[in-house]
Structure 1
Amino acid sequence: MSAIVSLYLDTRRQKKDGTFPVKLRVTFQRKQQYYPTSITLTESQWEKVGKPKPREDFIRDTKRLLETFSGRAEKIIRDMPLFSFEEFEKRYAGSSEAPSDNVVVGFESYIGQLKQERRVKTAESYQCAANAINRYHQRKTPLTYRDIDPQWLKGFEQWMIGNGNSITTVGIYLRSLRTIYNQAVEDGIVDRDSYPFTKRRYQLPTGRNVKKALTLADIEKIFHYPAKPGTAEEKARDLWLFSYLCNGMNPKDMARLTYQQVGAKQIRFIRAKTERTKRDVKAINVIITEDIRRIIDKWGQKPVAPQRYVFDVLEPGMSADREMAVIRQFVKTINKYIRRIASTLGIDKDVTTYTARHSFSTVLKRSGAPIEFISESLGHQDIRTTESYLDSFEDEVKLQYANALTSFRSSKEHD
């Protein structure tokens, strides 16, 4: 039996500001122990935090911080070979040394954790963010969490753009910094009242969504492209189509797909991107069409065995670094040939594996599929993420709707 972690609003003693302390509750064999957090809330705020999608910035930030508290406790419990409250308290409290308020140290610690979890690509992204922050700081004294205020964040944003970086890159780096800052709040390194990442203080920039989806007509051209049988070009085309047909499956998930996940009527898998980062992650279900089955039969490894990878990309026992390198080459190869095919067909877009995912969602949208269905198919937890994937309607459809505004003209002309 494993210990259970939950959050609890302790209403026994109200503070002068009308709030109550939020505590971490750990339950094991019917025994409960409570541990303090740095967060206090009113009863109405606590009720809002419990809702799936709170609207207020303060409530959303608080919910995220509380999830960080409980997530850390759950990880500690998972890593314990045998649970005891005494051992849990020792691990949860950490070492006796005062935690560092050096932001770069925070990055290094988190990057090490990511590497242990084999999340190499994410670790590299955080390392890039840390490098950029280091270059911007350029002082003899280390950058501390107390240095991170709205003015510093705006300065970093302007410096990044001035050095030729896109607003999308700035947003990615600052979201990484926000995660490290949240960890520091959880560890008691910085006071929560200093939290700068709010709508009123500093709002993270978001890049303009560059439309990446293909039209159905372009996808039809790729589908019927006469690649020479048995060539690398034919394989790249088929694997690109496999991604498109399988809910926009990520190349990493394609590489890690095993026959055990392929049933008679559907493929069932959990995205590698989310399996370690979210709780209660739902599996993605892909209905197997004739075209999907044809691609598996043509390019799948033989003989078929439950634990065997479907496609010949990875090998069992690979290190995380080696696996990442192989998947990158896999993506590079597909992109090389699919770009050639697109160019030959006169498709005026940069077609990549990422295009397949965007095209899947956008074609469904244009066919009238509900956004909730598209979101579930992509494995998104938030519909707003799905909305960012969806391309606008094709020009022909826009013209059709525009003509509808004066459809009375055509009816009179026929009278």
Structure 2
Amino acid sequence: MNYGTKLVYLYHPKVLKSVGQTLNNLVMAKFNIVAYKSNQKRDGSYPICLRATKEGKRKYIDLGLTTQENQWDESTGRFKRDKRLNPTYVRDNSLLNHYEERKDSILRKFAEERIDWTLNLFEEQFWGMSKQGKVYDFFITQIENLKATNHIGNAKAYARTLHVMGKYDDKIEERLFPEIDIKYVNAFNVALEKDKCGGNTRKYYMKTLRAVLNKAIKEKEASLSTYPFGKGGFEISTLEEETRKRYLLSEDLNLIKNSPQQNFTMEYTRRLFLFSYYCFGISYVDMASLTTHNIEKLETGEYIVYKRQKIKNQKGVKSIKIPLTDTIRGLIEWFGKNTPLIGDYLTPIITRDYSGEQLYEHIRSRYGRYNKNLKKLGVALGIERQKLTTYVSRHTMAMTLQSNKVPREVISQVMGHSNLETTNVYLDSFETSVVDEAAKLL
């Protein structure tokens, strides 16, 4: 490839008002990477510059490299491929290639946004891009910070997203934040879709990427000018796919409530499922973290009071208060008498004195085993309509409250949701009984 003079034509046919305006919308700019011989240094070397020419005006942008006259190939605009003359020519030419790509990226942006740019604006954009941090490095820093502050789940989410981005982008380690624009995000989404990645999974990756970009903008590592989300940008909400509601029918729920198991593992599994159900569908991770310190005596009685691990550090998150009913108290007492609890934990999920990432992996391992046992319990009880999982207790609780006319605002509160939209994912649009009544009117 010849890296000498390049002519770049910026042409916008969409903005032409008539054929007669064609020539007025054809802008010619000329770029060269050159050894600037008018500015020779004391050691006889010359600075390497990007020379930009437009409308008879010229600007030299110093690229931070120098060359002796015998090291430079004017015809290619690169260092000569000779280690005897320049041992670092491979590295130096690679850097010049990177600058060439940066220049092309800026010109594409000007063309797409129909900007009548000046040489000063071009230079500002050129160095503005270089001052922005690298996406990969910022991701890694955020992952390390999250681990250090014991946000292991979020750290894993960031790491998974970065891994997937690298799968489709072999230049991810060199990407600068201005390159993560709407075109990049659209291409990433298409690549995921072609790889049979479902909408909800793509939504997960996009939300993580958006979170990283928001952090980068806040820390002045990235600019809003190329932000791919928000108004007019990529709409993450369009990726959401409706999932089948995972809740038990009342007869299946009663079967679990009233069918003690002879096998200890199955009985422990059954009681843990019911504990989650009676505690307003508490998640497995939150259930694992409960200790005696979460039991508080308030004016109206005793409650289990906790904040969801998933969002406990977000601003304005309120505690969930679960009335300590006789049923819940009975389950806690059974765990205390029949399982090897450690420390002050209310449930026997955590069985080792771990912390940090080790604790996170321990809970994940126990979570996988628990779901396998739930599946076996469902088979043992003859529950065929719905496979038992940790989510089923939460969904079933929400649907039970709705069928008993509990307002969705209340259901949202006891589930710890920040808005009703999240709660609505768990609930059918209408109860089937309401639909049945509507059908009678036809």
Q: State the TM-score bracket (shorter-chain normalisation).
A: 0.5 to 0.7
Which of the numbers 170, 182, 185 marks the counterpart of 1:138? 170
Cα-to-partner distance string for 1:204-230 (whole Å, 9 max, x where unaligned): 14321312222223211221224116x
Q: Which residue in 1 is equivalent to 2:208? A: 176
Separation in 1 of the partners of 2:366 and 2:341?
Answer: 22
Separation in 1 of the partners of 2:172 and 2:249?
Answer: 54
Calculate the TM-score normalised by the size of structure 1. 0.68
Separation in 2 of the partners of 1:347 and 1:202?
Answer: 40
1:121 aligns with 2:153: yes
For 2:168, the aligned partner's letter is Y
Query: Once the 2 structures are TM-superposed, how far is the Cα of residue 354 of structure 1 from its aligned partner?
Result: 1.3
Q: Which residue in 2 is equivalent to 1:213? A: 247
1:269 aligns with 2:306: yes
Cα-to-partner distance string for 1:133-171 (whole Å, 9 max, x where unaligned): 112122387122111222211111111011121111111
For 1:265, the aligned partner's letter is E
For 1:177, the aligned partner's letter is L
Q: Which residue in 1 is equivalent to 2:259? A: 225
* Contact kept? 1:335, 1:351, Cα under 8 Å: yes
* Contact kept? 1:212, 1:391, Cα under 8 Å: no
What number of residue pairs does the alignment pair up?
A: 306
* Contact kept? 2:280, 2:394, Cα under 8 Å: yes
Cα-to-partner distance string for 1:103-144 (whole Å, 9 max, x where unaligned): 111111111111112121221111110011112122387122
* Contact kept? 2:342, 2:350, Cα under 8 Å: no
Q: Which residue in 2 is equivalent to 1:84? A: none
Separation in 2 of the partners of 1:330 and 1:145?
Answer: 39
Calculate the TM-score normalised by the size of structure 2. 0.64
* Contact kept? 2:342, 2:352, Cα under 8 Å: no
The structure richer in strand per residue is 2
Separation in 2 of the partners of 1:374 and 1:233?
Answer: 29
1:342 aligns with 2:374: no
Cα 1:120–1:303 change in 2 (3 A) is: closer
Unaligned runs of 5+ in 1: 1-97, 407-415
Q: Which residue in 2 is equivalent to 1:235? A: 268
1:402 aligns with 2:436: no
Q: Which runs of 4+ in 1 moved over 6 A?
A: 301-307
For 1:363, the aligned partner's letter is T
Unaligned runs of 5+ in 2: 1-129
Separation in 2 of the partners of 1:135 and 1:305?
Answer: 43
Query: Once the 2 structures are TM-superposed, how far is the Cα of residue 302 of structure 1 from its aligned partner?
Result: 9.1
For 1:234, the aligned partner's letter is E
Q: Which residue in 2 is equivalent to 1:380? A: 417
Separation in 1 of the partners of 2:422 and 2:341?
Answer: 36
Query: Once the 2 structures are TM-superposed, how far is the Cα of residue 181 of structure 1 from its aligned partner?
Result: 0.8
Separation in 1 of the partners of 2:308 and 2:357?
Answer: 19
Q: What RMSD in Å do the two structures reach over aligned CA positions?
A: 2.6
Within-5 A mapping of 1:251-266: 251-263=284-296, 265-266=302-303
SS at structure 2 position matched to 1:228: coil
Cα 1:355–1:140 change in 2 (3 A) is: closer
Q: Which residue in 2 is equivalent to 1:244? A: 277
Q: State which drifts further: 203-212 or 355-364.
A: 203-212
* Contact kept? 1:301, 1:310, Cα under 8 Å: no
Separation in 2 of the partners of 1:299 and 1:117?
Answer: 31
* Contact kept? 2:305, 2:322, Cα under 8 Å: yes
SS at structure 2 position matched to 1:300: helix
SS at structure 1 position matched to 2:174: coil
Separation in 1 of the partners of 2:430 and 2:362?
Answer: 36
SS at structure 1 position matched to 2:210: helix
* Contact kept? 2:289, 2:345, Cα under 8 Å: yes
For 1:349, the aligned partner's letter is Q
For 2:250, the aligned partner's letter is L
Separation in 1 of the partners of 2:327 and 2:385?
Answer: 26
Q: State which drifts further: 370-379 or 116-125.
A: 116-125
Within-5 A mapping of 1:301-380: 308-314=344-350, 317-344=353-380, 345-380=382-417
Q: Which residue in 2 is equivalent to 1:285? A: 321
* Contact kept? 1:238, 1:295, Cα under 8 Å: yes
The structure whose Rg is larger is 2
* Contact kept? 1:247, 1:357, Cα under 8 Å: yes
Separation in 2 of the partners of 1:353 and 1:180?
Answer: 29
Separation in 1 of the partners of 2:430 and 2:310?
Answer: 29
